[in-house]
Amino acid sequence: MRYSEYFIPTLKETPADAEVISHQLMLRAGMIRKLAAGIYNYLPLGLRSIRKVENIVREEMNRAGAIELLMPMVTPAELWQESGRWEKYGPELRRIKDRKEAEFCLGPTHEEVVTDIVRREVRSYRQMPLNLYQVQTKFRDEIRPRFGLMRGREFIMKDAYSFDVDSSAADISYDKMYQAYRRIFQRCGLNFRAVEADTGSIGGTASHEFMVLAESGEDAIVSCSACEYAANVEKAESPVKGGTEHAEPRPLEKVATPEKRTIEEVAEFLGVPKAAMVKTLVLSADGEPVVALLRGDHDLNEIKLQHLLGCDTLEMAGDEIVTKVTGAPVGFAGPVGLKVKIVADLAVQVLRNFVTGGNAKDLHLKNVNLDRDCHVGIFADIRNVVHGDPCPRCSGGTLEMWRGIEVGHVFKLGTRYSEALHATYLDADGKEQTVFMGCYGIGIGRTVAAAIEQNHDDNGIIFPLPIAPFHCIISALNMKEEAVKEASETIYQQLSEAGVEVLLDDRDERPGFKFKDADLIGIPLRIVVGSKNLADGKVELKERRSGEVSLLPIDEAVEKVKAAVAVAL
């Protein structure tokens, strides 16, 4: 490709509305342009990277035995009504009507559609295992689209769905996908972790998320310092420690705490550690008030609590409800004397003589003991783990916290969808059985963005070679000079013939200008052709990542580039 004939609208300035570095660089490098909130044009350079990721994904899916098909983006409401998701899926599901007032939605995911195919076409156990995948545009009307391709409303996803005769066969399909995902993200050159994940609203029995480690990541994840355990904080657990259950219960005591509302304020005022206090949160679960008790230094994990309660919505109660439930203004809630359902975290179960709110203005209670003073309905793990907590899997390891970008997700669905949509088959004895499913997603655009988040410097993107839009850029310093033109064209031809993807910067621009663009768009290898070095038959080869420059005879430079590309792919 010749730069002068190509389309790379780079920007000098950092666009003001781009918060994270990958979004800034994708705009500046002319890879994407915003059309509307969360909806982007993929410009040629961006599209090339996207196709690279897609191809790696396709190769690994095919290698793992999955088969590509393509399902429509517009899908009929009836299927979603059958699965129950027409009602359950929130406003992210964009519902639309056609001219006959028939209802449809823009596919945010395709469990329903693919299950419909399978229930019609798969009759016998002999037709499984079956794994069908597509690379397709999805639409989710995200409440806060942001960070460019990282969280769009329209985005490209690879989604695969496995169908098996029983749970153990489904486990094998799941494991194949898990291994394929590891290979995919390794091949993309990413530093990632596979973590245990919450199974969420999609309904299923086990799942892992593939997280690219990055400070800007929206997810908090933990991993053990000693063993393989890694999990999303939404899911992560830790054995209870720091209990005081052997202490003698002391008499309950009222203490005045004028204007002291927060855990910090009360802890300081009374001179007790936060871990010797209990915070009392009033929430609304499907509109019903419920109280959660947590140790003062711990935070509520709303997802764990929501699963426990089995509710569709869970939110912090407003001031009015707090006052109605506790009889006190916000800041003085405590469990003693409450008439609503109380859920206490396991770390609270082992506390004695703790401090909590007194359910009256400017009042707290000391020496509260749950078994003596309150009626707790449920004890359960409802907190977020924190840095340094003990590992739940090994003895001696402690949990470390990371930020991550979720680029992929694998899921054991069990019979959640096959039961609802009656996807069955006949087993070897001719008996009707329900199909076991798994689903497996990768955000293609998000993967490119995550790669940039992990690979950049002050001058721009540093693409891992397998997903770079071009492998090599030839910066011809002055194409008007016959020798430079001739050498550049020869190198261009030799590399192209060898299968190297080359961008020939033949523009009539100053060298500094060309170098800036080359750095910005992040092409891994650069050959600089200038008349001075050419006089000795040499060119400069520069590696984008290390910045290493070597002055080489033309043939040698060409061979080096060919070899570097062959090794990386």
The binding site for ligand ATP (CB under 6 A) comprises 109, 140, 142, 151-152, 155, 157, 406-409, 441-443, 445-446
For 197, the token pair is: 């994940």
Determine the 3-state secondary structure of 1 from DSSP.
Answer: coil
- Considering the complex, state which of residue 187 and residue 409 has its C-beta at the smaller distance from ligand ATP: 409
Looking at residue 258, its amino acid is P
Q: Give residue 564's region: left, alpha or beta (phi > 0; psi -120 to 50).
A: alpha
Looking at residue 525, its amino acid is L
- Considering the complex, state which of residue 50 and residue 564 has its C-beta at the smaller distance from ligand ATP: 50
- Considering the complex, state which of residue 277 and residue 444 has its C-beta at the smaller distance from ligand ATP: 444
CA 223 to chain CA mean position, Å: 16
- How far apart CA 433 and CA 436 sit, in angstroms, is 9
- Considering the complex, state which of residue 358 and residue 445 has its C-beta at the smaller distance from ligand ATP: 445
Write the burial class of residue 30 (CB in 10 Å: 0-12 exposed, 13-18 middle, 19+ buried). buried
For 553, the token pair is: 């005879």
For 165, the token pair is: 């005769």
The minimum distance between CB 108 and ligand ATP, in angstroms, equals: 8
- Considering the complex, state which of residue 39 and residue 566 has its C-beta at the smaller distance from ligand ATP: 39
Determine the 3-state secondary structure of 182 from DSSP.
Answer: helix
- What angle, rounded to 10 degrees, do the helices at 21-28 and 444-454 form? 100
- Considering the complex, state which of residue 152 and residue 469 has its C-beta at the smaller distance from ligand ATP: 152
Yes or no: say if 412 and 174 are a contact pair by the CB < 8 Å rule.
Answer: yes
Beta-carbon neighbour count of residue 256 at 10 Å? 10
User: The tokens 């156990």 sit on which residue?
Assistant: 125
- Considering the complex, state which of residue 203 and residue 443 has its C-beta at the smaller distance from ligand ATP: 443
- How far apart CA 334 and CA 293 sit, in angstroms, is 9
Determine the 3-state secondary structure of 396 from DSSP.
Answer: coil
- Considering the complex, state which of residue 3 and residue 133 has its C-beta at the smaller distance from ligand ATP: 133
Q: Which helix (H) or strand (E) holds 457?
A: strand 456-457
- Indicate the pairing of strand 74-76 with strand 95-97: unpaired
- Considering the complex, state which of residue 57 and residue 503 has its C-beta at the smaller distance from ligand ATP: 57
Give one DSSP letter per residue of 511-544, joined into a string: HHHHHHHHHHHT-SEEEEE-HHHHTTTEEEEEET
Determine the 3-state secondary structure of 505 from DSSP.
Answer: strand
Residue nearest to ligand ATP (CB): 443
